[in-house]
Amino acid sequence: MPEEIDTKNKKTENKREPNYWKGFKEIYNDPEFSKKVNEDLTESKPKDANGMSRRKFLAFVGASAALAGAACTDYRDKGEIIPYNKMPEEISLGKPNFYASTCTLCPNSCGILIRTREGRPIKVDGNPEHPVSKGKICVKGQASILDLYDPDRLKGPLRKSKTGIFLKTPWLAANKTFITALDNADKQIAVITHQINSVTTKKLLGEFTKKYPNTKIYSYELFDNTIRNNAWKKSYGTDFYPIIKWDKAKVIVALQSDFLGTEGNRVENARLFAEGRDVDKVKNFNRLYSVEADMSLTGSNADYRLKLKPELQYNFVMSLLNEINRKTNIKIPINVSKFSLKSFAKKYSLDAKKVEFLVNDLIENSGKSIVYAGRSLPEKTHIAVNLLNEILGNTKLYNRKTSNYSVAGLSTYGDFYKLITDMKNGGVSVVIHFDSNPVYHLPDNMGYKKALKKVETVATLTESANESSEVSNFVFATNNQLESWGDAKTRTGFYSLQQPVIAPLYNTRQKEAVILQWVKGLNSKFKENLYHKYLMDNWRATIYPTLNSEIEFKRFWYGILNDGVVLKNEKIKSFGKFKNSSLSGLTTSPVKPNGFTVVIKESYALGDGRQANNGWLQELPNSLAQITWDNYAAISKKTAKKLQVQNNDNIKVDTGSGEKVYPVFIQPGAADNTVTIDSGYGRTKVGRVGEGAGFRISGLMSGKPTFSPWIYTNVKVARAEGTYTVVTDQEHHVFEKKPTENIFKKRGILFEGTVAEYEKDHKFLKNEREEERIVTPAIYPRHPELYKDVKWGMAIDLNKCLACGDCVIACNSENNVPIVGKDQIGRGRRMQWIRIDRYYSVSYDEPIISTQPMLCQQCDDAPCENVCPVAATTHSEDGLNQMIYNRCVGTRYCANNCPYKVRRFNFYNYRDRFKDGFQEEQLFDLIYNPEVTVRSNGVMEKCTFCIQRIMEEKAEAIREKRKIIGENVKVACQVACPTSAIKFGDINAKKSKFVKYRNHELGYYVLEEVNTKPNVTYIAKLRNTHTEES
Partner 1 sequence: MSVDYSKDMVLFDRNPELVELEELISKPIDTRPSKKYFIALAITSTMLLIGVIAAGITFYYGIGTWGNNQTIAWGFGITNFVFWVGIAHAGTLISAILFLLRQRWRNAIARFAEAMTIFAVMCAGIFPIIHLGRPWLAGYLFPYPNSMNIWPNFFSPLDWDVFAVSTYMTVSILFWYLGLIPDFATLRDKTTSKIKKIVYSFFSLGWRHSNRHWRDYEKAYMIFAGLATPLVLSVHTVVSFDFAAAIVPGWHSTIFPPYFVAGAIFSGFAMVVTVLIVVRKIFDMENIITVNHLDKMNKIILLTGSMVGYAYLMEVFISWYSGVPTEQYVAINRAFGDYAWAYWIMVSCNTLFPQFFWSRKIRRSIPAMFVIVILVNVGMWFERYVIIVSSLQRDFLPSSWTYFTPSIIDLGILLGSFGLFFTMILMFTRTLPVVSMSEIKAVVEGAQPSHHGGAN
Residues within the interface to partner 1 (CB under 8 A): 730-731, 733, 735, 739-740, 743-744, 746-747, 749, 774, 824, 827-830, 835, 837-839, 852, 854, 863, 866-871, 887-893, 895-897, 899-901, 903-909, 913, 937-940, 1006-1007, 1010
Alpha-carbon distance values, 571 to 205, 400, 404, 567, 894 (Å): 27, 9, 12, 13, 60
- Closer CB to partner 1, 568 or 892, in the complex: 892
Question: Parallel, antiparallel, or unpaired for β 835-841 and 848-854?
Answer: antiparallel
Q: How far is the CB of 744 from partner 1 (least distance, A)?
A: 6
| One-letter identity of residue 729 | D
- Closer CB to partner 1, 32 or 731, in the complex: 731
Total residues belonging to the chain: 1030
- Closer CB to partner 1, 213 or 739, in the complex: 739
- Closer CB to partner 1, 29 or 896, in the complex: 896
Q: CA 488, CA 494: separation in Å to the nearest integer?
A: 9
- Closer CB to partner 1, 201 or 728, in the complex: 728
- Closer CB to partner 1, 348 or 907, in the complex: 907
Q: CA 213, CA 161: separation in Å to the nearest integer?
A: 29
- Closer CB to partner 1, 562 or 909, in the complex: 909
Q: CA 151, CA 924: separation in Å to the nearest integer?
A: 7
- Closer CB to partner 1, 266 or 903, in the complex: 903
The residues, ordered by sequence, that sit 6+ positions from 3 with a Cβ below 8 Å of its Cβ are: 44, 170, 171, 172, 173, 526
For the chain, state the CA radius of gyration.
29
Q: How far is the CB of 666 from partner 1 (least distance, A)?
A: 18
Four-point Cα dihedral 786, 792, 797, 801, nearest 10: -140
- Residues facing residue 1016 across a β-bridge: 794
Q: How far is the CB of 818 from partner 1 (least distance, A)?
A: 12
710 touches 293 (CB < 8 A) = no
Q: Which DSSP letter does residue 241 get?
A: P
User: Which three-class secondary structure state does DSSP give residue 846?
Assistant: coil
Question: Parallel, antiparallel, or unpaired for β 633-635 and 659-666?
Answer: parallel
- Closer CB to partner 1, 665 or 681, in the complex: 665
Q: How far is the CB of 746 from partner 1 (least distance, A)?
A: 6
DSSP track, 949-1007 = HHHHHHHHHHHTTS---GGG---HHHHH-TT--EEEEETT-TTSHHHHHHT-TTEE-TT
- Closer CB to partner 1, 49 or 743, in the complex: 743
Q: How far is the CB of 270 from partner 1 (least distance, A)?
A: 23
Q: CA 292, CA 312: separation in Å to the nearest integer?
A: 10
**H-helix or E-strand containing 58?**
helix 54-61
- Closer CB to partner 1, 399 or 897, in the complex: 897
By CB neighbour count within 10 A (0-12 exposed, 13-18 middle, 19+ buried), where does 8 fall? middle
Q: CA 651, CA 647: separation in Å to the nearest integer?
A: 10
Q: CA 1022, CA 1030: separation in Å to the nearest integer?
A: 8
Q: How far is the CB of 870 from partner 1 (least distance, A)?
A: 4
Residue closest to 244 by CA, chosen among 368, 409, 112, 407: 368
Q: How far is the CB of 268 from partner 1 (least distance, A)?
A: 30
Q: How far is the CB of 869 from partner 1 (least distance, A)?
A: 4
Q: How far is the CB of 681 from partner 1 (least distance, A)?
A: 24
Q: How far is the CB of 1009 from partner 1 (least distance, A)?
A: 8
- Closer CB to partner 1, 78 or 835, in the complex: 835
DSSP track, 354-384 = HHHHHHHHHHHTTTSEEEEE-TTS-HHHHHH
- Closer CB to partner 1, 597 or 881, in the complex: 881
Q: How far is the CB of 885 from partner 1 (least distance, A)?
A: 10
1018 touches 852 (CB < 8 A) = yes
Alpha-carbon distance values, 128 to 59, 124, 262, 336, 810 (Å): 37, 12, 21, 47, 16
- Closer CB to partner 1, 426 or 828, in the complex: 828
Q: How far is the CB of 886 from partner 1 (least distance, A)?
A: 9
Q: CA 104, CA 108: separation in Å to the nearest integer?
A: 8
Q: How far is the CB of 826 from partner 1 (least distance, A)?
A: 10
Q: How far is the CB of 802 from partner 1 (least distance, A)?
A: 17
Strand order in the sheet with 96-102: 96-102, 111-117, 120-126
- CA-based end-to-end distance of the chain: 68
